[in-house]
Amino acid sequence: MAPIDRLTVMASLPILDKRMENLIVAGAEAGELDWHILSSRSHHFTGSSMQSFGNSILDVVGNTPLVRLSRFGSKVGPTLHAKLESMNPAGSMKDRAAKRMIEDAEKAHDLKPGAQVIVATSGNMGVGMAMVCAVKQYQLYCLVDPKISPATEKCLKLYGAKVIKVYQRDKTGGYHLTRLEVAESLKAQYPDAIYLDQYDSPANMDAHYSSTAPEIYEALDGDIRVIVAVAGTGGSSMGIARYFREHSPETDIWLVDEYGSLALPGNSGVGIRYLNGMGASITPNNYDWPSFDQFVDHVVYVNPGRCINAAVDLARSEGILTGGTGGAAAHVMRDIAAPQYSEGDNLVALLPDHGSRYTDTQFDEEWLTARDIFVPAIHSDEVVK
């Protein structure tokens, strides 16, 4: 066999993370791998990008791309990256938790086709659950509220979920407690149904501890100075935080929440929130307040206008269209965290979903104006005639 060098092997393959690259080159140099075979099968080697084949759609949940933000972060010293969770098959990072929570429920309850599942969510968890239940042939009952985007509600119904919408606000000014009350009545109506609570779910956290976090770690060969995530149920943020405390304790964990949320310690009290998928009107048990400071280094509260503006900036500079929650993570990474770190440090923001779900809400000028939210990138646009 002809001598193999690194350039010869890697020229035949797409971009890989460093660990995969080193394994492939070592195998080729040792004569254990034929680079001609590698070249012919190169579409299977996608580094941190998506798996190319599965026996069902559930097999390709996870392994989402990590992308460098060279233009969005051009004015700061650290190197900025985005984890594109919209590349999951139902469009958000909640696909990971939905799959794991259903799998755990199957072990605990021996679910069969036709089983009934109840969840309370007005966003991405509902869509992820609806996808999983469609594959498993379970009937999903999804409790939502008026904050749900029209696109998300239509997606739920297309997957076959039964959508129950509550309109009465609870004592916090939100809808979460009202949804829980309706969930109790549904459980009484369907005694064989199982209720899955994403706010108090070890499976929710484990989905990200065992997949999202190691994907980030391996893509950058463990060299991550900062991870920025948004607060919500606590599943993704605490799963990732726990992984990095064990495998890379020098990595700083930043959490971002919207003013008016009660999710995190030190919140400023309840208020109206506008960014779907971020914050909570309760304190999720996933955060485990007594141990919270062991895992989270910084908490930042934001207003929706800055977050949505950052999302538009990201779309126009990098071609990455994310929702307002992704905009929140990107805004805090670039504008608040990055100035505190050094040249060449790797900073990663988790972008939970795709912005196309919010064209009728967060990115709509009339919707924003009605709520007194000013977004310069949207309100200042000139109409081209």
349-385 pLDDT, tens digit each: 999 999 999 999 999 999 999 999 999 999 876 543 3
Pairing of strands 226-230, 346-351: parallel
From 195, 223, 246, the end of a domain falls on 195
Asked if residue 1 belongs to a domain, the reply is no
The sheet carrying 226-230 orders its strands as 66-68, 79-84, 346-351, 226-230, 252-258, 298-302
Domain that holds residue 328: 57-90+208-379
Average pLDDT of the chain, as a whole number: 87
Asked if residue 309 belongs to a domain, the reply is yes
Tokens 């990055």 belong to 338
Question: With bands split at pLDDT 50, 70 and 90, how would you rate the model's confidence at 271?
Answer: confident
Asked if residue 52 belongs to a domain, the reply is no
The residue type found at 212 is T
**pLDDT, position 147:** 83
| pLDDT score of 278 more than 60 | yes
In this structure, the answer to whether residues 219 and 171 fall within a common structural domain is no
From 195, 221, 248, the end of a domain falls on 195
In this structure, the answer to whether residues 252 and 273 fall within a common structural domain is yes
What's the predicted TM-score (pTM) here?
0.84
List helix spans (H) across 210-264.
213-219, 235-247
Of the listed ranges 77-81, 109-113, 180-184, 303-307, the least confidently predicted one is 180-184
**pLDDT, position 185:** 87
The C-alpha atoms of residue 382 and residue 55 are separated, in whole angstroms, by 48
In this structure, the answer to whether residues 37 and 155 fall within a common structural domain is no
The C-alpha atoms of residue 11 and residue 6 are separated, in whole angstroms, by 8
In this structure, the answer to whether residues 158 and 228 fall within a common structural domain is no
Q: Number of structural domains, the chain?
A: 3
Query: Residues 6 or more apart from 232 whose CB is under 8 A from it?
Result: 263, 277, 278, 279, 280, 284, 325
**pLDDT, position 11:** 41
Asked if residue 202 belongs to a domain, the reply is no
In this structure, the answer to whether residues 230 and 118 fall within a common structural domain is no
Number of other CB atoms surrounding residue 259 within 10 Å: 16
Question: With bands split at pLDDT 50, 70 and 90, how would you rate the model's confidence at 31?
Answer: low
In this structure, the answer to whether residues 81 and 190 fall within a common structural domain is no
In this structure, the answer to whether residues 177 and 215 fall within a common structural domain is no
Pairing of strands 252-258, 162-165: unpaired
**Six-digit token pair at 31?**
């004569």
In this structure, the answer to whether residues 281 and 228 fall within a common structural domain is yes
Asked if residue 18 belongs to a domain, the reply is yes
Rounded alpha-carbon distances, angstroms, from residue 365 to 146, 250, 327: 19, 42, 17
**pLDDT, position 371:** 96
In this structure, the answer to whether residues 83 and 15 fall within a common structural domain is no
Q: Which one-letter DSSP state was computed for residue 95? A: H
Asked if residue 114 belongs to a domain, the reply is yes
Length of the chain: 385
In this structure, the answer to whether residues 240 and 350 fall within a common structural domain is yes
**pLDDT, position 21:** 52
| pLDDT score of 15 more than 80 | no
In this structure, the answer to whether residues 76 and 137 fall within a common structural domain is no
Left, alpha or beta for 178 (phi > 0: left; psi -120 to 50: alpha)?
Answer: alpha
The C-alpha atoms of residue 339 and residue 226 are separated, in whole angstroms, by 12
pLDDT tens for 296-341 read 999 999 999 999 999 999 999 999 999 999 999 999 999 999 999 9
pLDDT tens for 231-251 read 999 999 999 999 999 999 999
In this structure, the answer to whether residues 62 and 138 fall within a common structural domain is no
Asked if residue 361 belongs to a domain, the reply is yes
Q: Which one-letter DSSP state was computed for residue 298? A: E
